Amino acid sequence: MALFATSVFILLGFIYWATAGYMADQTDETIEAEVLGLAEQYQRHGLNGLVSVIRERVARDPNGKSVYLFTARNRVKLAGNLDQWPVEVLSKESLSEEGWLNFVLEKENSPWNVDRLVRGKIFVVHGELSLLVGRDIQELMTVKKLIERALSWGMGITLAFALMGGVMMTRSMARRIEMFNVTSQRIMNGNLALRIPTKGTHDDFDQLAANLNMMLDRIVQLMEGIRHVSDNIAHDLKTPLTRLRNQLETTLLMVKEPEAKEEVGKALAEADQMLATFNALLRIARLESGGKLTHVSEVDVSALVLDAVEFYEVLAEEKEQRLELSVAPDVQVNGDRDLLFQAISNLIDNAIKYTPAHGTIKVEVETVGVQVIIRVLDSGIGIPESEREKVFQRFYRVAKSRSEPGNGLGLSLVSAIVSLHEGRIALSDADPGLCVELTLSQVSHIPMRRRLNGKQSSSA
């Protein structure tokens, strides 16, 4: 808008100079021509000839725009339609070096019986003979004011339209950019099937959207290829591993020696661990490729969390850990009960696994507005801030947790379940330990209190 206003200002300034300036130059040229003509008359016919010419011009056009005053020594009038010299001439304050001046001719001394603005030039004919030749520029000044007013209104209207156009263009671009941002955010949240819509105008935004969509298609193809490879491997190996596990279990029943029985038991545990890994891989693949929930119902999150905590309570007691619970009752969300139970169970299992003996684990459920927040806090080893985004990747494990049993798929599964429920998962410090926070959409809630493991815990 500033650039446009500057260009319009320059354009209107040129128009003003080309119109009002041209008219003023024409007036000066007319006065100059008259001065030169009268000077030639004086050179040809002398004093009497100049006086006769001035009197003839005044008599021929008594109400014309020309002003004449020819005086001799002591400013004695010899000819002209002015009776005396203007005050501006006597004071010499408004007189330029070339003899030009602008003055107001009052109606008492004016041949038009009204106050008029006059532009004139003083010319010394000879010795003390002075000649004033002028033109009435009242109409010229009126026209200049009209032009100035018109240009001012034009400038104002132009700026108003520029502002309106700028606002409309800005809003239009802002809407397009916001559409890009919203769609990109939803894609980053896991909905890879979305694409940025185009308007069909083939403008720069449409070209950008088309390029981004092609890039997303290519990324999805590559991800699907990698995912299919890992899923196929997991699927193909699951069957022989299941057979191997069953054979080990049969062998365990047949072996009588204690040492051999222990070794077969270890092999059976390793097979179970491998099967759990493949099952987790396949479940994550189903969740990520499904795109939407298939068994949706109103789930009582409060009861779900209580069931999960009760399931892992014995494991916490074995490690002499304190399990604290703070849950608001009757908190309802729409979702798949089994998947939500799996996610909460994984978080509690991780907390117990990475919290040392005599540590504390807290499980909280609260509502904030229309959202349900589920938190699992532990006093364990935690996760460095630089690695919190990476732990949602398959098989990624923090370096200091590699000594613990696990396959690095727990948080990946939780993330897939939360994304499928259009929720959010966030990791933060628990000082010490880790805080995992799940955010879902709520249906209703009522506060409650519950005592667990002999410790008092209160709801929000």
Give residue 21's identity as a one-letter amino acid code: G
Residue 17's contacts (CB-CB under 8 Å, 6 or more residues apart) are: none
Q: What pLDDT does 376 receive?
A: 92
**Three-state SS for 282?**
helix
Q: What pLDDT does 452 receive?
A: 40
Range(s) within the chain of domains with CATH label 1.10.287.130: 204-290
The fold for domain 2-142 equals: Beta-Lactamase (3.30.450)
Range(s) within the chain of domains with CATH label 3.30.565.10: 297-458
Q: What pLDDT does 169 receive?
A: 86
pLDDT in tens, the chain (460 residues): 778 778 888 888 888 888 877 888 888 888 888 888 888 888 888 888 888 988 888 888 777 778 888 888 778 888 888 878 877 666 655 566 677 888 887 766 666 666 778 888 888 888 788 888 888 888 888 888 888 888 888 888 888 888 888 888 888 888 888 888 888 888 877 677 788 888 888 888 888 888 998 998 888 888 777 667 766 776 677 778 788 888 888 888 888 888 888 888 888 887 777 777 667 666 666 666 655 666 778 888 899 899 889 888 888 888 888 888 888 888 888 888 888 888 888 899 888 888 888 889 999 999 888 889 999 999 888 888 878 777 777 666 665 555 565 556 778 788 888 888 888 888 888 888 889 999 988 764 333 333 344 333 333 2
pTM of the model: 0.46
Q: What pLDDT does 284 receive?
A: 67
Q: 297-458 architecture in CATH? A: 2-Layer Sandwich (3.30)
The secondary structure of the chain in percent helix, strand, coil, rounded to multiples of 5, reads: 55, 20, 25
Q: Which of 262, 233, 265, 227 shows the shortest CA–CA distance to 248?
A: 265
Contact 413, 347 (CB under 8 A): no
At residue 433, φ and ψ (nearest 5 deg) are 95, -160
Range(s) within the chain of domains with CATH label 3.30.450: 2-142
Neighbours of 275 (CB within 10 A): 16
Contact 437, 374 (CB under 8 A): yes
- Between CA 436 and CA 189 the distance in angstroms is 17
Which residue matches tokens 């002499």? 320
- Between CA 51 and CA 78 the distance in angstroms is 7
Which residue matches tokens 């098989």? 395
Q: For 204-290, which CATH class?
A: mainly alpha
Q: What pLDDT does 458 receive?
A: 35
Q: What b/e readout covers 131-151, taking b as 16+ CB neighbours within 10 angstroms?
A: bbbbbbbbebbeebeebeeeb
- Between CA 211 and CA 216 the distance in angstroms is 9
Neighbours of 51 (CB within 10 A): 18
- Between CA 252 and CA 294 the distance in angstroms is 40
Identify the bridge partners of residue 435 per DSSP, sorted by sequence position: 377, 428
At residue 426, φ and ψ (nearest 5 deg) are -140, 145
